C-alpha cells in the first residue's frame, strides 16, 4: 500500500472535515463479489452490450430478454454483503469527515454498511414499479414470478413492471440534483472505484475545489486530482481510516 498517498489522503480529509462528499462506482463492490462494468475481461460490458440489455428500449422492445438477463445478472446482488471499503466510508461519515455518500451503484451496500446519507444517482435494486398504475413492489417479489411468468407483472392491473434503476435512456432521478447540491457545497470530492466514464454522473466528481481518487486502475481524471491512491478500495480506505484514527495528520 502506498503509505505516502494514504497519509496525503488522510491529511486532505482532515483539512476538509465535514465538507467532503464521496462518489462511488462499481469498483467498491467488486470485493463483495459483484463484477464491475469496464474492468478488462471481468467487467460486465466486456462480454455484453449494455444497450442491448439494460436500456429503456430493450425493456420495452424485448421485455422477456430484458428480465431474464436482469434476473441472471442482478438477482445475486440482492444477497451481497458490504466489504471493508463500504465499512470504512460509513466510518468516515459517522466520524464527521464525510457528509454525503453519492453512489452510481444500485446494490444498496452503503446502506447495509450503516451509511446514513446515501444518494443513489442510478437508482436501486430494492423495488420495481408498474409502468401503468405506478404501484411499487419489492424486487424479490417480482423476480419470484420468473421463470414461470415470462415477465413480472403488476398484481393490481396485470401490466408489466420495471426496475427502479436508471436504465440507459432514462432521465436522471431526483437523487442526481440532490447529489449536485451536495458536491457544490463541498470542498473535497473523494472518488472511489469508478472509471468516471459515464455522464452525467461523472460530472459530480468535478464540482468541488479538491478531488481525491481511490481506484485500482488509472482513470480519466487522475491528472486533476490532489491525491490518487492506486489500490483496492477495502485496503486503501481501511488504511486511511487507521491513519486518521491515530491522528498522524
Q: Which residue numbers are catalytic?
A: 122
Chain positions 69 to 128 lying near ligand APR, rule: CB under 6 A, are: 104, 122
Site string for ligand APR, 190-209 (x = CB under 6 A): ---xxx-xx-----------
In whole angstroms, give the CA distance from residue 92 to residue 70: 33
For CA atoms 60, 27, 121, 191, the dihedral sign is: negative
Q: How far is CA 24 from CA 28, 107, 213, in A?
A: 7, 12, 10
State yes or no: residue 173 binds ligand APR (CB under 6 A): no
Q: How far is CA 45 from CA 94, 120, 146, in A?
A: 34, 21, 24
State yes or no: residue 32 binds ligand APR (CB under 6 A): no
Given candidates 9, 22, 23, 37, which one binds ligand APR under the rule CB under 6 A? 37
In whole angstroms, give the CA distance from residue 28 to residue 110: 10
State yes or no: residue 150 binds ligand APR (CB under 6 A): no
Residue nearest to ligand APR (CB): 27
In whole angstroms, give the CA distance from residue 227 to residue 191: 10
Q: Which stretch binds ligand APR (CB under 6 A): 1-9, 21-29, 59-67, 87-95?
A: 21-29
Residue number, 91 or 194, with CB nearest to ligand APR: 194
Which of helix, strand or coil describes residue 220?
A: coil
State yes or no: residue 232 binds ligand APR (CB under 6 A): yes
Instruction: Give backbone dihedrals phi and psi of 114, rounded to 5 degrees, phi first.
Output: 75, 20
Least Cβ distance, residue 157 to ligand APR (angstroms): 29
CA dihedral 164, 100, 200, 177 (to 10 degrees): 70
Q: Which stretch binds ligand APR (CB under 6 A): 62-70, 172-180, 213-221, 241-249?
A: 213-221
CB atoms within 10 A of CB 57: 13
State yes or no: residue 226 binds ligand APR (CB under 6 A): no
Q: Which stretch binds ligand APR (CB under 6 A): 38-46, 74-82, 107-115, 141-149?
A: 38-46
Q: Among candidates 217, 193, 188, which has minimal Cα distance to 204?
A: 188
State yes or no: residue 55 binds ligand APR (CB under 6 A): no
| Beta-bridge partner residues of 160 | 153
Given candidates 216, 222, 226, 249, which one binds ligand APR under the rule CB under 6 A? 216
In whole angstroms, give the CA distance from residue 79 to residue 109: 10
Given candidates 91, 160, 215, 238, which one binds ligand APR under the rule CB under 6 A? 215
| Beta-bridge partner residues of 2 | none
- The residues that touch ligand APR, with contacts defined as CB under 6 A, are 25-27, 30-31, 36-39, 43, 50, 104, 122, 193-195, 197-198, 215-217, 219, 232-233
Amino acid at each position: 500500500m502506498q503509505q505516502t498517498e494514504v497519509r496525503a489522503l488522510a491529511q486532505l480529509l482532515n483539512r476538509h472535515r465535514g465538507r467532503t462528499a464521496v462518489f462511488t462506482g462499481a469498483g467498491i463492490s467488486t470485493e463483495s463479489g459483484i463484477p464491475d462494468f469496464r474492468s478488462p475481461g471481468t467487467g460486465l460490458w466486456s462480454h455484453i452490450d449494455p444497450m442491448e440489455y439494460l436500456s429503456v428500449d430493450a425493456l420495452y422492445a424485448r421485455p422477456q430478454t430484458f428480465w431474464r438477463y436482469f434476473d441472471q445478472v442482478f438477482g445475486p446482488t440482492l444477497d451481497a454483503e458490504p466489504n471493508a471499503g463500504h465499512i470504512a466510508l460509513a466510518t468516515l461519515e459517522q466520524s464527521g469527515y464525510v457528509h454525503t455518500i453519492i453512489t452510481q451503484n444500485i446494490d444498496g451496500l452503503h446502506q447495509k454498511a450503516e451509511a446514513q446519507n446515501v444518494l443513489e444517482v442510478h437508482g436501486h435494486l430494492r423495488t420495481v414499479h408498474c409502468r401503468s398504475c405506478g404501484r411499487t413492489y419489492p424486487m424479490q417479489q417480482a423476480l419470484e414470478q420468473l421463470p414461470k411468468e415470462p415477465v413480472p407483472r403488476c398484481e393490481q392491473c396485470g401490466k408489466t413492471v420495471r426496475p427502479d434503476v436508471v436504465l440507459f435512456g432514462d432521465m436522471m432521478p431526483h437523487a442526481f440534483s440532490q447529489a449536485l447540491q451536495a458536491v457544490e457545497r463541498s470542498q473535497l470530492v473523494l472518488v472511489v472505484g469508478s472509471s468516471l466514464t459515464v455522464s452525467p454522473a461523472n460530472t459530480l466528481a468535478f464540482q468541488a475545489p479538491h478531488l481525491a481518487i481511490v481506484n485500482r486502475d488509472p482513470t480519466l481524471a487522475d491528472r486533476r486530482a490532489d491525491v490518487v491512491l492506486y489500490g483496492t478500495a477495502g485496503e486503501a480506505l481501511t488504511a486511511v481510516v487507521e491513519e486518521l484514527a491515530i491522528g498522524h495528520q
